[in-house]
């Protein structure tokens, strides 16, 4: 069973790719973001580490972590952000590795697709067989972010400038899906070809 890492800039359309891999091929999809949210829930080890580090002021009335409050706390403080990432990211990767192991043992899915914004920076190549880059030109990404999330041009700018440049994505990944087109069939055909050519299936 192969493990495919999916990455790309904000607004590139990674969700479209994951949805297709799940619907068409019944792949197990693991999203690092969702795993992070799960590990921050009360009762999880990461939850206690975060509360211990940042204090009970980040908690809601029901004792869950208010991610907005936490975000504001670390947004302008590089040291706090590094600390938060050091608590969350390794735990997320460890959890994903254990889920992959479970899927290997059960042998019920054709492959696993792992999506993470920091797939390259957090060295997911150690647990993935291949990394795939979902590319979309900047105009397409801006349009999508405005339509789906209501982002202003300035907000899109601020996120994009903190992400890896296109050439680093291309150097680090074994396959590129160009998802700039609004004709989704074009994207699906690239995925089908990539899965066959790269022996994922």
Residue 98 CB: number of other CB atoms within 10 A?
10
16 annotated among ligand-binding-site residues: yes
Is 129:4 a contact under the CB 8 Å cutoff?
A: yes
154 annotated among ligand-binding-site residues: no
Residue (of 40, 47, 32) closest to 93 by Cα position: 32
- CA angle at residue 111 from 109 to 113, to 5 degrees? 120
Residue 15 CB: number of other CB atoms within 10 A?
14
13 annotated among ligand-binding-site residues: yes
Is 108:88 a contact under the CB 8 Å cutoff?
A: no
148 annotated among ligand-binding-site residues: no
Taken in order 19, 164, 193, 123, is the CA torsion positive or negative?
negative
Q: Which residues touch 162 (CB under 8 Å, ≥6 apart)? A: none
11 annotated among ligand-binding-site residues: yes
187 annotated among ligand-binding-site residues: no
Q: Which residues of 27-44 are buried (b: 16+ CB within 10 A; e: fewer)?
A: bbbbbbeebbeebbeeee
Q: What residues form the annotated binding site for ATP?
A: 11-16
Q: What residues form the annotated binding site?
A: 11-16
């Amino acid at each position: 069973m192969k493990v495919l890492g999916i990455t790309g800039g904000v607004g590139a359309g990674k969700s479209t790719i994951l949805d297709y891999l799940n619907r068409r091929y019944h792949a197990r999809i693991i999203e690092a973001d969702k795993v992070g949210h799960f590990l921050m829930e009360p009762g999880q080890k990461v939850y206690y580490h975060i509360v211990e580090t940042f204090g009970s002021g980040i908690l809601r009335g029901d004792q869950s972590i208010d991610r907005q409050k936490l975000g504001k706390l670390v947004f302008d403080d590089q040291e706090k952000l590094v600390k938060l990432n050091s608590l969350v990211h390794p735990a997320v990767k460890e959890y994903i590795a254990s889920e992959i192991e479970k899927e290997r043992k059960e042998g019920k899915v054709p492959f696993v697709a792992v999506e993470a914004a920091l797939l390259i920076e957090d060295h997911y190549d150690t647990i993935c067989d291949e990394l795939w880059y979902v590319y979309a030109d900047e105009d397409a990404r801006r349009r999508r972010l405005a339509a789906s999330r209501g982002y202003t041009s300035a907000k899109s700018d601020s996120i994009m400038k903190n992400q890896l440049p296109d050439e680093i994505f291309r150097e680090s990944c074994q396959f590129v899906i160009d998802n700039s087109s609004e004709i989704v069939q074009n994207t699906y055909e690239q995925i089908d070809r990539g899965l066959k050519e790269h022996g994922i299936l």
